[in-house]
Amino acid sequence: MSAAEYANADLTRAEVDATQGLTVLEFGATWCPICQNAQALIGSALAGRALKHLRIEDGPGRPLGRSFRIKLWPTLVFLQDGHEVARVVRPSSAEDLADVAMLHDTA
């Protein structure tokens, strides 16, 4: 399995809050084995959905993750027009993401 590629972009909270439509912020780190193991599950759950998926590298000195109070990786923050509507921390099964997937199917 290939490692998850997390963007080393310096998105600001203001930029994220201004997003339109459905957006998933996935906070994690490329070297994180839990993040790597979750990639197939996350990819499967989000496949074919009309949403924007951004993988954001998190860690010390990363203000975006701190602004969302990220504590564990991976954490997926689901936004609708820049407002958090759901969050999933360390998904380990399809059931962990099922409710969120249903939320976005009806949005």
- Distances in whole angstroms, Cα of residue 13 to Cα of each of 39, 43, 52, 103: 25, 25, 16, 23
Flag whether 8 is in a domain: no
Q: Is the pLDDT of residue 1 over 50?
A: no
User: Whole-structure pTM over 0.85, yes or no?
Assistant: yes
Flag whether 1 is in a domain: no
Q: For the domain that residue 39 is a member of, what is the CATH number?
A: 3.40.30.10
Flag whether 53 is in a domain: yes
Q: Is the pLDDT of residue 107 over 60?
A: no
| Residue ranges making up the domain that contains 79 | 13-106
User: What distance in Å separates the CA atoms of residue 104 and residue 80, rounded to the nearest whole number?
Assistant: 9
Flag whether 41 is in a domain: yes
Number of domains in the chain: 1
3-class DSSP state of 13? helix
Residue bearing the bigger pLDDT, 2 or 91: 91
Flag whether 4 is in a domain: no
pLDDT (tens digit, 9 = 90+) per residue, 11-63? 899 999 999 999 999 999 999 999 999 999 999 998 888 889 999 999 988 99
- Distances in whole angstroms, Cα of residue 23 to Cα of each of 16, 32, 85: 9, 22, 10
CA nearest 34: which of 63, 66, 6, 62?
6
